[in-house]
Amino acid sequence: MKTLHTTDPGFPAAWAKLCARGSEEDEGPVREAAARVVADVRARGDAALLELTERFDGWKPASAEALAFGPAEFKAAFRQLPRAARQALELAAGRITAFHEREIDAEVKTFRDRAGATLGQVTRPLRRVGVYAPGGTARYPSTILMTAIPARVAGVDEIVACSPGVRGTGEVDLWTLAACHVAGVAKLFRAGGAQAVAAMAYGTATVPPVDKICGPGNAYVAAAKRLVFGQVDIDMIAGPTEVVVVAGPRADPREAASDLLAQAEHDVRAVPVLLTPSPALAEEVDAEVARQLADLPRREIAGRSIAERGALVVTRDVAEAVALADDFAPEHLALLLPDAARWVRRIRRAGAVFAGTNTPEAVGDYVAGPSHVLPTAGTARFASPLSVATFRRRMSVLDLSPAALAAVAPAVEALAAAEGFEAHARAVRFRVAAGKARPSAPRKVSKGRGTKAKPRLLKVVR
């Protein structure tokens, strides 16, 4: 792995390049190819989906209906798994459910203000959502759990999933089907890539249109999600996975190396970074990565990630390492520090923080509880992990009494006149003139309820 030192004159430029992640390398060609696929599926529906599945996945479905699996297949797959596998899925599902059931929506509880207006917000679940589980070089039943279960907890009426079948055969592994069973998925369609995203966004005769698409995928999936946003909502534009490990001088190099490789084995474009104030530890981790790579089944993938996108960064002290980690805004941040909880307070920008040496990121991928669908490529600066809130929308509710309307009418008319919208002013004026709205003295509000002091209104000169 390449080694950087924060004391080197060229470090700022090297760090900026590392933070960029190289996520825009093939954006033009990828987006153009995805746009053609999305347009084709939107225009021709099932026919395009079948042709594209044969072209990209190397197998020919007998019909569009043959793409779909339902509850019966999910249950049968679950029963075919060994007992230990079933228990693992149920443990993961139970922990994910328990965590997300504790979420509290950020809504405005209904209240009545001094003027007599009743105001508030309520939350409502989406009607139908689509979750995408990647295929290709690996299978991801965990992604089914991490997307569908929060949607189910949110109260979504119907959850459908798309995941590409095995190239050449179209088969779907038992783990993925069984995950659909425990997560409450209604149907899974053996379709992947941009064509799956388009099918869920616009709908076909076989694939129902959804309100929101969630889940990670390759560059074509990300490009397609960007293209269909507006027709449907999306969770985020997910880039290659990434991890930043902050390790103190006494950290175990085996643990640090394994955390780096746990992300590197996902994808050749994964970004594994170590930050440590110890040059000796950096050298030990570098050697340990090479040792662990030797017998890693996915060593070719992990090796390229380590060589092309990985980095060991030697900092002045732990505080600088933590500050750089926050600047990177990583998807995963592992704090291999004896006092990790204290340093968490300094982190403002990360998808998920794994505090302490007993909390490997791998636990978060599978059974910890919070969804493993996290913001990547620096978007943790403003984006949040997938959660129950991802699948709910807030709706404002306004209910003015006649007195409340009369109280605010002059301000509405003044603002409407300032913006040149006479119809807005009339909509209020007609009601007041008809006697539906009569001003009354402001009612007293007890402490802790409503506004404590009457707001000052500026006199508007018209």
pLDDT, one tens digit per residue, over 34-52 is 999 999 999 999 999 999 9
Is 276 a known ligand-binding residue?
A: no
Is 24 a known ligand-binding residue?
A: no
Report for 26-35, 137-146, 291-300: range of highest mean pLDDT: 291-300
Instruction: Outline where 241-400 has alpha helix (H).
Output: 253-264, 279-293, 299-309, 318-328, 340-344, 361-366
Tokens of 37: 């696929």
Active site residue 5: no
The CA distances from residue 236 to 47, 221, 277, 306, 411, in Å, are: 28, 11, 34, 25, 39
What one-letter code names the amino acid at 279? P
Please give the angle made by the CA atoms of 351, 355 and 357, to the nearest 5 degrees: 130
Give the mean pLDDT of 345-358: 97
CA distance 172 to 179: 12
CA distance 349 to 244: 12
What one-letter code names the amino acid at 368? A
Residue 339's pLDDT band (boundaries 50, 70, 90)?
very high
More confident residue, 439 or 339: 339
pLDDT, one tens digit per residue, over 22-36 is 555 557 899 999 999
Is 218 a known ligand-binding residue?
A: yes
Mean pLDDT of the chain: 92
Is it the case that residue 66 has pLDDT exceeding 80?
yes
CB 58 within 8 A of CB 162: no
Name the active-site residue from 255, 331, 361, 413.
331
DSSP-derived secondary structure letter, 162: E
Please give the angle made by the CA atoms of 342, 262 and 8, to the nearest 5 degrees: 65
Domains, in order of start, for the chain? 27-234 (3.40.50.1980), 239-382 (3.40.50.1980), 401-447 (1.20.5)
Predicted pLDDT of residue 436: 59
Name the active-site residue from 100, 181, 332, 372.
332
334-340, long-range: CB < 8 A, 24+ apart: 334/243, 334/244, 334/245, 334/246, 334/259, 334/359, 334/360, 334/361, 335/246, 336/245, 336/246, 336/247, 336/248, 336/251, 336/252, 336/255, 336/256, 336/259, 337/246, 337/247, 337/248, 337/251, 338/248, 338/250
CB 302 within 8 A of CB 296: yes
Is 54 a known ligand-binding residue?
A: no
The percent of residues in the chain predicted with pLDDT above 90, rounded, is 88
pTM of this prediction?
0.89
Active site residue 171: no
CA distance 348 to 381: 8
CA distance 271 to 454: 54
Residue 434's pLDDT band (boundaries 50, 70, 90)?
confident
Is it the case that residue 440 has pLDDT exceeding 70?
no
More confident residue, 242 or 138: 242
Is it the case that residue 438 has pLDDT exceeding 90?
no
Is 365 a known ligand-binding residue?
A: yes
Residue 449's pLDDT band (boundaries 50, 70, 90)?
very low
Is 181 a known ligand-binding residue?
A: no
Is it the case that residue 5 has pLDDT exceeding 60?
yes
Is it the case that residue 64 has pLDDT exceeding 90?
yes
The CA distances from residue 231 to 197, 202, 307, in Å, are: 11, 8, 40
pLDDT, one tens digit per residue, over 240-276 is 999 999 999 999 999 999 999 999 999 999 999 999 9
Residue 105's pLDDT band (boundaries 50, 70, 90)?
confident
Is it the case that residue 229 has pLDDT exceeding 50?
yes
pLDDT, one tens digit per residue, over 190-215 is 999 999 999 999 999 999 999 999 99
Length of the chain: 462
